Amino acid sequence: MVALSTDSSALRDRRQTARAAHIWLIGLLLISSVASLAIGASGTSLWAALDKLAQGQELDLMERVVLWDIRLPRLVTGIVVGASLAVSGAVMQGLFRNPLADPGIVGVTSGATLGAIIAIVLGPLLPLAFLGTAMLPVFAFVGAWVSMVLLYRVATRAGRTSVATMLLAGIALAALGGALSGLMIYSADDDQLRDVTFWGLGSLAGATWAKVLIAGPIILGALLVSMTLGRGLNGLALGEAAANHIGIAVQRTKTIAILSVAAGVGAAVAISGGIGFIGIVVPHLLRLATGPDHRMLIVNSALLGASLLLLADVISRVVIAPAELPIGIVTAILGAPVFIWILIRSRGVVDL
């Protein structure tokens, strides 16, 4: 069902649930944010630091570094990355009318991975030393963007983008990216192989203010643009022809959806590596709980995606402290069983 009209009472109910969910999810995000600032391997206490600040005392070096240079950039990174992955998942599932769609489907992930691997393996050989630690994220973002533009060009004929072509070409491009990545991996040394593996598992541990300031605005911009897509995606759920007849600017919706996902996920993956599962699970959970209206779904996805990634990050940094588990492992280990359990419980829901 598509929520285009409001005259069905069942629909209105779910829309109200979805509105109420805004409040709950904002609350969850606040709790997760506090947890993210307060919990960590070091004994540094957020409350003690706030107390000191309230009394006008100086923070000591350890408190300043842990809270300001480690936990706070991690918090911001977690929020924008989690929101971006979840919203992109919702947008892609809406655009492709396919519950299995995730940002990977427009080639963003394979492109970013290839870019990252090139930076890890060939980086030391390239005359780009001035990029320093920014090289990997820059390459990953460029890789994501290049592969998305390629796919979009392939799938667009005479001003119309074929979603089916994009899906198929995306699979082909991912295979090509995988092959090129394999070529890089073959010529990598042991240390680089470990770096590639860890990058693929994702982590917020490398979060710095520099990365937040560069990637943050790109992701926020993409998120804001995505928020305008709700009505268009609701229309597209009826099929492209029907959507066109009820006055949806179909091509415009597609273009904006693809560009915002590429920008947002490209930047998110660039600073955090491969974090799976958030993009596919969050929109589904919300659809099951609050219905398929994209206008609500996109906002709620942003809130829930951010909260879940922050909680996963807290777990990743305390569970084997003082070492840290890559966050991709946490999101999948916790997310997959919960998702399967929800699917079993709501077996009645056949249409996702």
Partner 1 sequence: MITRRDFGLIGLAFAAQSGLGHAAQYNRILSIGGSVTEIIYALDQGHRLIARDTTSTYPPQALDLPDVGYARALAAEGVLSVGPELIIAEEGAGPPETIDLLEQSNIPFITAPDTYSRQGVLDKIRVVGDALQVPEKASTLARKVDGEIAAATHGITNGDQKRVLFIISTQGGRITASGIDTAADGMISLAGGINAISSFTGYKQVSDEAITAAAPDTILMMDRGGDHGAPDNVLFNMPAIATTPAGQNRSVIRMNGLLLLGFGPRTGQAVKQLNTALYG
Q: Which residues of this protein are in contact with partner 1, per CB under 8 A?
A: 40-43, 61-62, 65-66, 69-71, 132-133, 186, 188-191, 194-195, 198, 203, 205-208, 317, 320-324, 326
For residue 119, the minimal CB distance to partner 1 (Å) is 12
Closest approach of Cβ 127 to partner 1, in Å?
19
By beta-carbon proximity to partner 1, the closer residue of 49 and 106 is 49
- The nearer residue to partner 1, 200 or 221, going by C-beta atoms, is 200
**Closest among 289, 314, 318 to 304, alpha carbons compared:** 289
In the bound state with partner 1, the residue whose beta carbon lies nearer, of 39 and 149, is 39
Instruction: Give the distance, in angstroms, between the CA of residue 266 and the centroid of all CA atoms in the same chain.
Output: 9
Q: Which amino acid is at 348?
A: G
Min dist CB 39 to partner 1, Å, is: 10
Q: How far apart are the first and last CA of the chain?
A: 10
Q: How far is the CB of 74 from partner 1 (least distance, A)?
A: 9
What minimum distance in Å lies between the beta carbon of 66 and partner 1? 6
> How many angstroms separate the Cα of 252 from the Cα of each of 9, 16, 91, 159, 260?
31, 29, 14, 10, 12
Distance separating alpha carbons of residues 280 and 116, to the nearest angstrom: 23
Number of helices and strands (H, E) in the chain?
15, 2
Q: Which is nearer to partner 1, 205 or 249 (CB)?
A: 205
Q: What's the rounded Cα separation, in Å, for the pair 271 and 327?
A: 13
- Backbone φ and ψ for 156, nearest 5 degrees, come out as -105, 120
- Cβ 111 to partner 1 shortest distance, Å: 22
**Of 203, 225, 89, whose CA–CA distance to 137 is shortest?**
203
Give the residue with the Cβ less far from partner 1, 49 or 298. Answer: 49
Q: Which is nearer to partner 1, 198 or 339 (CB)?
A: 198
Q: In the complex with partner 1, which residue's Cβ is closer, 130 or 186?
A: 186
* Cα 345 from Cα 260, distance rounded (Å): 34
Q: Which residues have a Cβ under 8 Å from the Cβ of 349 and sit 6 or more positions away? A: 288
Which residues, at least 6 apart from 309, have a Cβ–Cβ distance to it below 8 Å?
78, 79, 81, 82, 85, 204, 275, 278, 327, 331
The nearest distance, CB 54 to partner 1, in angstroms, is: 24
Q: Least Å distance between CB 145 and partner 1? A: 23
Q: Which of 342, 337, 317 is nearest to 327 (CA)?
A: 317
Give, as one character, the DSSP assignment of residue 127: S
Least distance in angstroms from the C-beta of 187 to partner 1: 8
Instruction: Say if CB 75 and CB 317 are below 8 A apart.
Output: no
Q: Which is nearer to partner 1, 42 or 165 (CB)?
A: 42
- CB closer to partner 1, 47 vs 186: 186
